[in-house]
């Protein structure tokens, strides 16, 4: 079981300790800064090469998925499965698996709401899920086995170059009863889904909002020009952390288009009464984040894209804005996600001029999926900024 879906208890506490102290600690985030920066540079380089110095169309969804998954895959396993220099056959298999996984998880499953349908396996959903998860399990086991074989024939790596699989295999030596293959694979899968998929989707929503609001986009450009002193170089992660307005854009994107609009399902631990309603123990509980973050009693002009509302770090009561959840069930990777998204979005805006295809605004309808994607992939016009051409040519 993953940290997101484990019941509260010893197993959940161990998983939470693993993610907060080992996988997403300040030291671990710093160790993987180079990986994140390299992947941002590579996707900027690829877009620059595709443009060939002129106005071109770019499928941003493809590029952002490639970027997000390659970062998470390198952190987890040391491999790239998308774009140039990817592991070819493994990469194709992984991409097909993730596509199938997302489509299946995004389907409506009435069994969750009418458990009696389990008796007939309504629409064959259980059979499909078991088949798909067997394939996913085999693929993840291959990654774990490969790391174990490599560790058996090579010396222990410098901690700075260890993947997260290496970290968990090291921890297995002292706690073998906890760090089983099932636990390791569960952590890998949850990081891929909760880490890569969500970041790519948020970045796509963010770019779509900026293209529909050119004045906001221009303010981000001005902030980058003002605070990034080395304009002849691509900004790095530490540069992007200084860009407060850019991060307000990301926060406002998460408010309007949370990638998990119902968060992950919770469960009532005991019988309780809420607003006069009896809630039995074991009831599935969903948080309607979409409504909360657009509620007119909480937010002024709630449907308007207005990053300025977060100036000075203001976001009202703590419960008003919870895209990463709250409390002990909050997403442990929130800090890494914010760093990465700020850097990626900043680099794309610094390097290129962006515009919509045609005069019509970009369609902001949401679609169906594991997270909440745009119903249509974001495709935009792109041209390298004149003052950045020399820097981009050196990447």
Residues forming the annotated binding site for heme? 331
| Residues written for the chain | 395
What are φ and ψ of residue 32, in 5° steps?
A: -100, 10
Strands 266-267 and 284-285: antiparallel
Residue 122 to residue 269: CA distance in whole angstroms: 28
Residue 330 to residue 251: CA distance in whole angstroms: 16
Instruction: Please give the full DSSP string across 138-205, using - where no structure is assigned.
Output: HHHHHHHHHHHHHHHHSPPPPGGG--HHHHHHHHHTT-TTTS-HHHHHHHHHHHIIIIIIHHHHHHHH
Residue 114 to residue 102: CA distance in whole angstroms: 22
Residue pair 104/133 in contact by the 8 Å Cβ criterion: no
Question: Which residues fall within 8 angstroms of residue 51, CB to CB, at 6 or more apart?
Answer: 58, 352, 382, 383, 384
Q: What are the beta bridge partners of residue 343?
A: none
Residues making up the annotated binding site are 331
DSSP secondary-structure letter at 79?
-
Residue 238 to residue 66: CA distance in whole angstroms: 22
Give one word for 295, left, alpha or beta, with left for phi > 0 and alpha for psi -120 to 50.
beta
Residue pair 202/260 in contact by the 8 Å Cβ criterion: no
Specify the 3-state DSSP secondary structure of 26: helix
């Amino acid at each position: 079981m993953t940290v997101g879906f484990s019941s509260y208890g010893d197993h959940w506490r161990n998983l939470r300790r693993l993610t907060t102290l080992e996988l997403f600690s300040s030291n671990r985030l710093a160790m993987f800064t180079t990986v994140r920066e390299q992947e941002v540079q590579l996707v900027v380089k690829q877009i620059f090469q595709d443009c060939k110095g002129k106005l071109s169309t770019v499928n941003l969804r493809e590029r952002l998925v490639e970027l997000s998954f390659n970062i998470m895959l390198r952190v987890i396993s040391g491999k790239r499965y998308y774009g140039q220099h990817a592991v070819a056959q493994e990469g194709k298999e992984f991409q097909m698996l993730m596509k199938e996984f997302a489509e299946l998880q995004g389907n409506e499953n009435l069994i969750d709401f009418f458990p009696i349908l389990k008796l007939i396996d309504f629409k064959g959903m259980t059979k499909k899920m078991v088949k798909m998860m067997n394939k996913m399990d085999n693929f993840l086991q291959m990654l774990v086995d490969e790391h174990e074989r490599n560790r058996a024939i090579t010396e222990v790596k410098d901690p700075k170059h260890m993947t997260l699989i290496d970290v968990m295999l090291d921890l297995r030596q002292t706690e073998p009863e906890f760090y089983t293959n099932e636990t390791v694979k569960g952590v890998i899968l949850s990081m891929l889904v909760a880490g890569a998929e969500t970041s790519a989707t948020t970045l796509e929503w963010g770019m779509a909002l900026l293209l529909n609001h050119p004045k906001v986009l221009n303010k981000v450009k001005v902030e980058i020009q003002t605070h990034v002193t080395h304009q002849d170089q691509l900004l790095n992660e530490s540069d992007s952390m200084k860009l407060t307005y850019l991060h307000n854009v990301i926060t406002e994107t998460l408010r309007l288009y949370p990638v998990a609009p119902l968060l992950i399902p919770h469960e009532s631990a005991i019988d309780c009464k809420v607003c006069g309603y009896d809630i039995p123990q074991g009831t599935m509980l969903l948080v309607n984040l979409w409504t909360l973050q657009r509620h007119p009693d909480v937010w002024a002009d709630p449907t308007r894209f207005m990053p300025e509302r977060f100036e000075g770090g203001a976001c009202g009561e703590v419960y008003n804005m919870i895209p990463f959840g709250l409390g002990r069930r909050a997403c442990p990777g929130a800090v890494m996600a914010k760093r990465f998204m700020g850097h990626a979005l900043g680099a794309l805006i610094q390097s290129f001029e962006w515009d919509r295809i045609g005069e019509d605004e970009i369609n902001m309808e949401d679609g169906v999926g594991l997270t909440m994607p745009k119903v249509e992939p974001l495709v935009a016009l792109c041209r390298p900024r004149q003052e950045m051409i020399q820097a981009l040519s050196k990447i």
